[in-house]
Structure 1
Amino acid sequence: MKYVIKTVKVLLLCILISSTAIILLFGHRDIPLNDLKPKYANKASSFIAVHGMDVHFRDEGDPSDPIPLVLIHGTGSSLHTFDVWAERLKKTNRVIRMDLPAYGLTGSFPDHNYSMTNYTVFLKDFLIALGIKKCILIGNSLGGQIAWNFTLEQPNTVAKLILIDAAGYPKKSKSEPVAFKVAKTPVLNKLLTYVTPRFLVRASVENVYFNTLKVTDSLVDRYFELTLRAGNRQAFVDRFKMSVDGSSLTKIKDIQQPTLILWGEKDLLIPVEYAYKFQEDLPNDTLVILNNTGHTPMEESPFESLIPVINFINKQHSENHKD
């Protein structure tokens, strides 16, 4: 009996020592917002009060454009994922993008409610705050899911829809970022809010790229440092705890707006077969598959992916048809 007690004590001591070592090696404090602003906000950045948050956004290009482009990023990302696109598109269009609640410089929802309903209400109130009555809505991954749900709820606000590797259908990923897996795992997800190794962030970004050589140190720094924005790590975990309401899936066929479905052929998180699900369900779509590209085409292959986007934006509604 004494041997068993001694063994348990040794094991507990080893666990304590290991946990302490992990925290010392990989533990990171939250980075205050004011420390991040000089690097990740610029002269085009603004902040606006929506739902009790100071939402970080950029409104660039032609202010007289009656139907601006609204760009929405995905899970764990920020408005910076559209940097290359925005630089080109703002020459001919008004381009608006924001850091979604839970990510970037915006931070978490005050009520910690990361349901799709709360995100679509947020988007509605954000657009109202900016005086936007009609727009072309563009979303990647989570942003795509928000975009098509918003289109169902506010059809008069959306002139056209662009879905980039969009979420929404129950999916079977071929591979998933390790950070996603940790966020879904009890106990480990608690640890994630304190211990966030940079190599975990790099591995997660590489997971959604096809060409991992394009994952630069500066790109990893951006994802890593914005993850450490106060409140973002807990929000990341909280969002994965939300139950999934699939009731809106049955209504996708009701979307009448001309829709571009843009997909990375090598997307392992939301594989390309889901692009064909959207194509089957949407009555007025154009489908473009990008070769040798992963889950975030606008970031991994920005110039190649922008060509069909510009062509689609410039088409007259009457020219759109189902491929």
Structure 2
Amino acid sequence: MAGCFSFTASRDRCYRLSFSNAGLKSTTTDIGDGTIMHCWLPKTHKNSKPSLLLLHGMGANAMWQWNDFVSPLTRRFNVYVPDLLFFGESHTTRPDRSESFQAQCVAALMEAHGVHSMNLVGISYGGFVGYSMAAQFPERVVKVVLCCAGVCLEEKDMEEGMFKVKSVGEAAGILLPETPEKMKQLVELTFVKPIKVMPTCFLTDFIDVMCTEYRQEKKELIETLYKDRKLSNLPKITQPTLIIWGEQDQVFPLELAHRLKRHLGENAQLVVIKKAGHAINLEKSKELYKSLKSFLVDSISPSTQENHSNGHKLD
């Protein structure tokens, strides 16, 4: 695609402008020990506002996953949107691929920018990182939102047929697509209503721009996520927690949401978004924002009561 117009690169530039217009600036921070973290952070941090950390999932960089949310959220929060290691401009020479290490790096990044207290929202893989942050740094994390983040999965779940894929290798092959066919498979897996017309040239362009760097490292992130994972080893975080899930999630089935709710008990509440899959931030952005606002801004306390409204089921 060298020398040709790239739709993906053009869209990336539009997202950069959008983030800038929302009052954020692009910053790269050396947190030491061979680790560089890129983050979008407030051009002016206002002490009158609480801080909010947005953690992305697998896929493109953080801008592509949070663009619909930064403008409304920056009105109420000092918003921080980092690229996790091996996404965007973040990378490390360290060999650690655990979500625990990712969490430590994000915590060090926030500390470097003088943020000592924050709420956080994590989507999918970002939810794994966010959960680990809440467990490791309970004094810094106030509230937690986990979106379609299967932190309660166990390695045996795959062997027992819980997932659409049969192995971690197959999962990595879809989540890190190398061909237009795999890209289509990823979209079909993550959306309830996937785009029907996906020109091969656009898919190839997206793969070339977004999916070629750090492919091996990202594969190791996925492998480490599953390896020897047991629910009995998962700590119980103590912060008020909102669990948000797509009713038809095929990446992390809804059973994992209920499992996490049981694990955390009365300290957590569960919102199930109907007619939504794994990519709820893209497919149901308005519904997701409504739930975020209700929990983070309106301060609704956790409840075990069920409430059906606007396509939501509140457990």
Tell whether the structures are fold-level matches, with TM greater than 0.5.
yes
Counterpart position of 1:45 = 26
Which residue among 272, 282, 289 is the counterpart of 1:306? 289
Q: CA deviation at 1:215?
A: 8.6
Q: How does 1:268-287 map to 2 (within 5 A)?
A: 268-283=250-265, 284-287=267-270
**Contact residue 178 and residue 207 of structure 2 kept, 8 A:** no
Q: Which has the higher contact order (CA 8 A, sep 6+)?
A: 1
Work out the CA distance in 1 between the residues paired with 2:142 and 2:258: 22
For the residue of structure 2 that corresponds to 1:69, the secondary structure is strand
Which residue among 106, 113, 127 is the counterpart of 1:123? 106
Q: What's the CA shift string for 1:129-162, capped at 9, x where partnerless?
A: 1211111111011111111121111101111000
Counterpart position of 1:134 = 117
Work out the CA distance in 2 between the residues paired with 1:200 and 1:214: 15
Q: TM-score, normalised by structure 2?
A: 0.76
- Please tell me whether residue 315 in structure 1 is matched to residue 298 in structure 2: yes
Name the one with the larger helix percent: 1
For the residue of structure 1 that corresponds to 2:139, the secondary structure is helix
Work out the CA distance in 2 between the residues paired with 1:232 and 1:79: 15
- Structure 1 unaligned regions, length at least 5: 1-25, 27-33, 186-191
Q: CA deviation at 1:90?
A: 1.2
**Contact residue 150 and residue 257 of structure 2 kept, 8 A:** no
**Contact residue 15 and residue 67 of structure 2 kept, 8 A:** no
**Contact residue 62 and residue 90 of structure 1 kept, 8 A:** no
Counterpart position of 1:294 = 277
Judged with a 3 Å threshold, the aligned counterparts in structure 2 of structure 1 residues 38 and 110 are, in CA distance, closer, same or farther, namely: farther
Which residue among 216, 225, 248 is the counterpart of 1:234? 216
Judged with a 3 Å threshold, the aligned counterparts in structure 2 of structure 1 residues 90 and 143 are, in CA distance, closer, same or farther, namely: same
Work out the CA distance in 2 between the residues paired with 1:113 and 1:184: 21
For the residue of structure 2 that corresponds to 1:212, the secondary structure is coil
Q: How does 1:69-88 map to 2 (within 5 A)?
A: 69-80=52-63, 81-88=65-72
Work out the CA distance in 2 between the residues paired with 1:219 and 1:274: 33
Counterpart position of 1:21 = none
Work out the CA distance in 1 between the residues paired with 2:89 and 2:81: 13
1:309 is aligned with what amino acid?
L
Q: What's the CA shift string for 1:63-82, capped at 9, x where partnerless?
A: 21553110111123421201
Judged with a 3 Å threshold, the aligned counterparts in structure 2 of structure 1 residues 245 and 63 are, in CA distance, closer, same or farther, namely: farther
Q: TM-score, normalised by structure 1?
A: 0.74
For the residue of structure 1 that corresponds to 2:92, the secondary structure is coil
- Please tell me whether residue 148 in structure 1 is matched to residue 131 in structure 2: yes
**Contact residue 72 and residue 140 of structure 1 kept, 8 A:** yes
Judged with a 3 Å threshold, the aligned counterparts in structure 2 of structure 1 residues 180 and 203 are, in CA distance, closer, same or farther, namely: farther
Work out the CA distance in 2 between the residues paired with 1:214 and 1:133: 45
Judged with a 3 Å threshold, the aligned counterparts in structure 2 of structure 1 residues 268 and 92 are, in CA distance, closer, same or farther, namely: same
Which residue among 250, 258, 266 is the counterpart of 2:248? 266
Work out the CA distance in 2 between the residues paired with 1:177 and 1:132: 41
Q: CA deviation at 1:128?
A: 0.8
Judged with a 3 Å threshold, the aligned counterparts in structure 2 of structure 1 residues 219 and 55 are, in CA distance, closer, same or farther, namely: farther
**Contact residue 103 and residue 227 of structure 1 kept, 8 A:** no
2:74 is aligned with what amino acid?
K
1:122 is aligned with what amino acid?
C
Q: CA RMSD in A?
A: 3.5
Which residue among 31, 36, 41 is the counterpart of 1:54? 36
**Contact residue 56 and residue 123 of structure 2 kept, 8 A:** yes
1:45 is aligned with what amino acid?
S
Judged with a 3 Å threshold, the aligned counterparts in structure 2 of structure 1 residues 88 and 247 are, in CA distance, closer, same or farther, namely: same
Rg larger for: 1
Judged with a 3 Å threshold, the aligned counterparts in structure 2 of structure 1 residues 56 and 62 are, in CA distance, closer, same or farther, namely: same
Q: CA deviation at 1:269?
A: 0.8
- Please tell me whether residue 181 in structure 1 is matched to residue 170 in structure 2: yes
Counterpart position of 1:99 = 83
**Contact residue 120 and residue 149 of structure 1 kept, 8 A:** yes
Counterpart position of 1:68 = 51
- Structure 2 unaligned regions, length at least 5: 2-8, 306-315
Work out the CA distance in 2 between the residues paired with 1:62 and 1:216: 40
